[in-house]
Amino acid sequence: MVSFDRLIDEAWPAPGRTEAAGWVYRYAAGVTKRANSVLPLGPRADLAAAVDEAERFYDSLGLPVVFSMGAEAAEGLDAELAARGYRVVDPTLIMTRPLSDEDASVEPGGVEPAPTREWFDVWWRVDGRTGPDPGTARWNAARILTGVPALYASSPVPQRVPAAVGRGVIQREWLGIYCMAVLPEARRRGHARDVLRALLSAGRRQGAKRAYLAVTEANTAARALYESAGFTVSGRYHYRIR
């Protein structure tokens, strides 16, 4: 059975990683929740002590304590965190679909092996979080986005400035879709669909057999796009934040 917890962790590599008896403490100076959260893979004999240890670790870094709660999270951990007052944040759906030769028939225009400055600027404008030090935040974000080989797609407008971007990570038979972002002034014009089609085509041409993505339950517009493209729900996760 595929482990989406591990696929997502692999495709979104936090610059900092510390192993702790099967759990992974990920940190990237606060850039994205995923890259600054505990990935609690597998059981721990003493859950309370394990949570205490994680809290001390993130406190030492001056970061919020966040747990990514997917299918492989330790049994009983969600209840332990709830009892400590951790709130649920960003319930998220994992959606999948098979890839076919029909996907590969679409010419994957605008797909590059590295993000251009313009690509990054679009993604950062839509999803970036500057924090107290914008320069450091952008640097850490770039480290995450280029931490593994990936495909970077864009949908240009006539001025050749991207209106929408997306990132695809080929992970053996899987293609992970990430960083789908459309500039506010360019929405509802099909740019996101163009980017998605280009990534699916490029992924299939490079041997991927299935695609997956993660989308928050609250993002109804994105969910509608993915459903229309043939994606269906295959899993869920959420965050617990102290």
Question: Where in the chain are the domains?
Answer: 4-91, 100-208
State residue 55's pLDDT score: 98
Quickly state the pLDDT bin for 120 (edges 50, 70, 90).
very high
Largest CA distance in the chain: 59
From residue 182, alpha-carbon distances to 151, 202, 223 in Å are 17, 20, 14
Instruction: Measure the CA–CA gap between 196 and 96, rounded to whole angstroms.
Output: 13
Tokens of 182: 């459309």
Tell me which fold the domain 100-208 belongs to.
Aminopeptidase (3.40.630)
16-20: strand order across its sheet: 16-20, 23-27, 38-40, 66-69, 232-241, 87-98, 210-216, 174-182, 162-171, 151-156, 111-112
Spatial distance between the Cα atoms of 48 and 8, rounded to a whole number of angstroms: 26
Question: For residue range 42-73, what is the model confidence (pLDDT) as tens digits?
Answer: 899 999 999 999 999 999 999 999 999 999 99
Instruction: Judge if pTM exceeds 0.75.
Output: yes
Q: Report pLDDT digits (tens) over 139-158.
A: 999 999 999 999 999 987 66
